Chain A
Amino acid sequence: MILVKEKEILVNEAIRAQFPILSREVNGKPLVYLDNAASSQKPQRVMDAITHYYTFDHSNVHRGVHFLSQLATEKYEAARTKMQHFVNARESREIIFTKGCTDGINLVAYGIGRSILKPGDEVLISEMEHHSNIVPWQMAADQAGAKLVVINVNDDGTLNMDDFHAKLSDKTRIVSIVHISNSLGTINPAKEITAAAHKKGALVLIDGAQAAPHMKIDVQEIGCDFYVFSGHKMYGPTGSGILYGKAEVLESLPPYQGGGEMIKDVTFEKTTYNDLPFKFEAGTPNIEAGIALAEAVDFIYDIGYEHIGNVERNLVSYATERLSEIEGIRFVGTAKEKASVVSFLVDGTHPYDVGAIIDKMGVAVRTGHHCTQPLMDKYGIPGTIRASFAVYNTYEEIDVLTDSVKRAVKMLRA
């Protein structure tokens, strides 16, 4: 009989074997990659999908009558359908390929700023938003004369739902909230937020950058109008991402960029725009990234979200337990509903110093404000050290992390 623990190790080894980069060394030490919330590493099959595409299938999409153009188009559209099922959208035209999460939010904020927001209207976001879910809305609100309203975060890193309900009003036109916080790991109640916002007639965008790698996304279940995420955080290539939008809402928005592909007819007097999704996909897209993103989805399916969730939950609780051995450690973000992130500070040390030292021991973590400066200001800290986990990480790596942080702290406090 194989013990549960041994079986776990075998499965983990089989997964790690698919990621060539995990066997490299950094500064003469085996790489311990714990910066997955910034970007995950890529399995061989995703890299192979890119190479295969350029080796056998490449031409421009939706353009030519020739064989390769048809083939590339078929593969690209098959990837779109895969992404439709991935988020459980009703139709494939509700799936817009983007460069990533930031691109998706900018597209929506641009359209809403120009077609919906009027002076006096309000855009509701939260204190735990990434800069990419703050700045596009600031720009849209400025342009339209609307106001940005910010929901408070509780001390444990959860969203203050009373404050949300208090600030949601008849003036609110859109609520744009992160599904899982990148610096705290908090999982927000996206469905509850959406239902309340819809009652007030507001649209809802959910920023799923940190959710898509870790849990099954069902946009119909959530009910949101927009859902955005990046490919590179979910084992896919950089420069890939998805904007899901309800067809009727997307149709009501003006196009984001003009160019080829997004038009039906062009004369110098007037242009009529193409139908969804092409209306929002001007120019030649990042074809191989779209196709390789679909491959990353198959990688996730093969492992299964259940397994991913179990592994990551175990890693978070083991990391929390081990790191607690360090005297003066303070965890930031201790919500009960929490994803694959452990963010912390150690008394008497600066996150930058700890990060720089443990880098020399091969450990890759993120230090700093994680592009959530307002949140760090709220907690009155310069930033944190953030270890974020993916399905390929191990308990042994957390041991290395803990020992490295202990050694760094000893050096810094000496």
Chain B
Amino acid sequence: MSERIADIQADIVAEFEMLPDWMDKYEHLIDLGKNLPLINQTHKLDENLIKGCQSRVWLHADADGLVVKYTADSDAIITKGIIALMVRVLSNQPPEEIVRADMGFIDQIGLKEHLSPTRSNGLVSMIKQMKYYALALQAKQM
């Protein structure tokens, strides 16, 4: 049984609470970005590109038994760090949980502005796309 989405989010919030300074938070994000499960080069195609205004984001999803596994990449490292957090929360979860998931932790750790449409970094579309893949894989399983 995979760890619950809410528990993972609580862990992340606690992790960031220990980093009150912005620079420490960003340094942490940069480190997380380096450990993102990278999308296979064969999937790094334009059709898997979530186009943001400023940074590009590629996303791929695979069904692994009853759970979904995500891989991704971005040309901007902070964006990559935030994606790594999202993947940590949603990867290895059953599709129905992913579709239902509330990604409120992004706001709680103070990264809300990265999800604002004015940042135009593709992260808002990224969450939508992750849920969409889960929905599609769920439909396939039925």
Give chain B nearest CB distance to A70 CB in angstroms. 42
Q: Tell me the residues in window 347-393 of chain A with beta carbons closer than 8 Å to chain B beta carbons.
A: 349-353, 356-357, 360, 367-369, 382-383
Question: By the criterion CB–CB under 8 Å, are B23 and A411 in contact?
Answer: yes
| Residue contact B30 to A350, C-beta cutoff 8 Å | no
Q: B77 and A353: CB pair below 8 A?
A: yes
| A360 contacts B23, C-beta separation under 8 Å | yes
Output the least CB separation between B39 and chain A (Å).
Answer: 17
**B75-A356 in contact (CB<8A):** no
For the complex of A and B, list the 9 residue pairs with the smallest distance between their C-beta atoms, beginning with the closest: A350-B76, A360-B22, A352-B76, A368-B54, A352-B54, A352-B55, A353-B78, A353-B76, A353-B77
A-B contact pairs, 20 of them (CB 8 A): A349-B77, A350-B75, A350-B76, A350-B77, A351-B54, A352-B55, A352-B76, A352-B121, A353-B78, A356-B26, A357-B23, A360-B23, A368-B53, A368-B120, A369-B54, A382-B54, A382-B55, A382-B56, A411-B26, A414-B27
A360 touches B26 (CB 8 A): yes
A383 to B114, CA, bound (A): 18
- How large, as a class, is the contact surface on chain A? 10 to 19
Interface string of B8-23 (1 = CB under 8 A from A): 0000000000000011
Overall SS of chain A's interface: mixed
A267 within 8 A of B: no
In the complex the two chains form, what is the Cα distance from A368 to B121 in whole Å?
A: 10
**B interface residues, how many (CB within 8 angstroms):** 17
Within the complex, what minimum Cβ distance (angstroms) separates B125 from chain A?
A: 15
Contact A367 B54 (CB under 8 A): yes
Beta-carbon contacts of B101-142 to A below 8 Å, as 1s and 0s? 000000000000010000011000000000000000000000
In angstroms, how far is the closest chain A Cβ from the Cβ of B122?
10
A356 with B114: CB separation less than 8 A: yes
Contact with B along A385-414 (1 / 0, CB 8 A): 000000000000000000000010001101
Is B92 interfacial (CB 8 A cutoff)? Answer: no
The proximity string for B residues 71-86 relative to A, scoring 1 for CB distances below 8 Å and 0 otherwise, is 0000111110000000
Confirm or deny: A27 has a beta carbon within 8 angstroms of a beta carbon on chain B: yes
Q: Decide if B22 touches A411 in the complex (CB within 8 Å).
A: no
A357 to B26, CA, bound (A): 7
CA distance A353 to B53 in the complex (A): 13
Instruction: Report A-chain residues with C-beta under 8 Å of the C-beta of B53.
Output: 368-369
A90–chain B nearest beta-carbon distance, Å: 41
Q: Quick one: which of B40-76 are within 8 Å of A by CB?
A: 53-56, 75-76
The smallest beta-carbon distance between A405 and chain B, in angstroms, is: 14
Tell me how far the C-beta of B55 lies from the nearest C-beta in chain A, rounded to whole angstroms.
Answer: 5
Question: Which residues of chain B come closer than 8 Å to A383, judged between CB atoms?
Answer: 54
Could you say which residues of chain B place their CB within 8 Å of the CB of A349? Answer: 77
For the complex, give the distance between the alpha carbons of A411 and B56 in Å: 20
What is the distance, in angstroms, from A238's C-beta to the closest C-beta of chain B? 15
**Complex interface: chain A residues within 8 A of B26 (CB):** 356-357, 360, 411
Q: Which residue of A lies closest to B22 (CB)?
A: A360
Min Cβ gap A190→B in Å is 30
Smallest distance from the beta carbon of B119 to chain A beta carbons, Å?
Answer: 8
User: Nearest chain-B residue to A351 (Cβ)?
Assistant: B54
